Amino acid sequence: MQTYPKAVGAYSAFRKAGDLIFISGQLGLDPQTNELVKGGVGEQTKQALNNIKAILKENGLEISQVVKTMVLLSDISDFAIMNEVYEKEFQAPFPARSAFAVKDLPKGAKVEIEAIAYKA
């Protein structure tokens, strides 16, 4: 059973480089259907983070080992809702993060999150 969505293009869901793992942008896709979860940016943020956690777990890592994230939002006014969900998944010290509003995201998604984790 696939625990995170498969890449839908010419890219990998993740790549390892030494003690680092680079996780490609994850949408709020249900890994079983490859469709966006129902709901808004909050639900999609939660699912995107669940997809990241599944990739980390497969590689013997945990969310606490994420050192950097980048969040892309289709509407910057969704930042507060995304941040509320995001805050519940991470603990201090929080990863470094950048967040941007973009014109569009694949599949009409409201949020996409990529991550870099460090295996110490």
CATH number for position 94: 3.30.1330.40
Number of structural domains (the chain) is 1
Per the domain annotation, does 3 fall within a domain? no
For 78, the 3-state DSSP assignment is helix
Per the domain annotation, does 89 fall within a domain? yes
Look up residue 36 and give its two tokens.
């966006």
Per the domain annotation, does 31 fall within a domain? yes
Per the domain annotation, does 1 fall within a domain? no
Question: Whole domain around residue 25: which residue ranges?
Answer: 14-118
Per the domain annotation, does 6 fall within a domain? no
55 CB burial (10 A radius; 0-12, 13-18, 19+): buried
Per the domain annotation, does 81 fall within a domain? yes
**DSSP-assigned letter for residue 2:** -
- 66-73 and 14-17: which strand pairing? unpaired
Q: Residue 73 and residue 77: Cα distance in Å, rounded?
A: 9
Per the domain annotation, does 5 fall within a domain? no
For residue range 30-85, what is the model confidence (pLDDT) as tens digits?
Answer: 999 999 999 999 999 999 999 999 999 999 999 999 999 999 999 999 999 999 99
Stated pTM of the model: 0.95
